[in-house]
Structure 1
């Protein structure tokens, strides 16, 4: 009886090698061991065994020697598959961990982007306020200039306009106080906007750099994972295909 050659492993076999590959491997060697236990079956399948997994000169080996050889070979193959499956699981765990870290960084980046948007709105608001304050300051500067001219004129007519001069000086002092007040507000608004913008910009740059590094690590893990799966698939084709 010539045993038909097994079909190549499917994509499902690759996805869960510990379930399908080892099951097929055990079935294959179980069937072979049963046949070798029967001397008549050994004689009928001798040529087939020579063509598959037995070494050269296997025809001179006794049944027990063949069984010992096959069991030893099965142990070696199973240990190798178990090692690869263990490494594959570790790669999967590392990939999940990196994916979670990447997800956390993405969430943090999105949060900072939202915060940055809010800060930009605040900056625009402060900018608008600064422009308004500057407009008022310019207006007061113009008024101050006019008042100074008026004061000079009043000084030349001091005797005739003593009462008017006193009122103008009061207006001038108030105008100077208002100008100083708006100058301080303008300075505070500029400092607040600059500090907020610099802090968010630095944090965003750090987040983008870390995100790029995690993307690179994820790609490296994916590459190693794919290579590991290809190696398991090759072993399956060599062992199960035999």
Structure 2
């Protein structure tokens, strides 16, 4: 009898360990697909049902946002600290805000976003040359760290992210900074990849109005090009 029980336990543990060997980097703490694009897409499509609770007008506005509208909207929100006075734009912003608020992260997530050094107050090309020697300028990186490391900032605009790192091969070529963002369970975030003009980006759209904390800034390398990986926390509202 004891041998049967032991054999059952061993078989169960073996099956359990094999099942985890085929899973992405998912722990009890967070969901992180890193470069596993196919698994990220499948998980997001299952975890986020885009049309649940949305009106036709809200869906149409999300389509407009992911098309030609996102740059105008986010520039407006940044330049006015989220308190602009353009009634027409405010109505559109409110629609997007309300839509995203209906969708919450079901788990703690790790998200990815490529940006240029302009987000940190430098000119494009200051941190890494745009041609030739793709090495990070350590003096410029130190300038960024001195100003932003461990700092909390208000994020007034919507934030486009991806559930996988560099889902399109062009992402890492032009932008020298990769934000690795931890979004806690309950973060207002919507999977818009099915209606986006650029579905290959696996876009998860984070709502405006969060505070974010910049943590570490480390030089990494991919395909002969150096880049800076910045770890970021989205802080819960309230």
TM-score band by shorter chain is under 0.3
Greater fraction helix: 1
Greater fraction strand: 2
Q: Which has the higher contact order (CA 8 A, sep 6+)?
A: 1
Q: Name the TM-score, length of structure 2 as normaliser.
A: 0.21
Q: Name the TM-score, length of structure 1 as normaliser.
A: 0.21
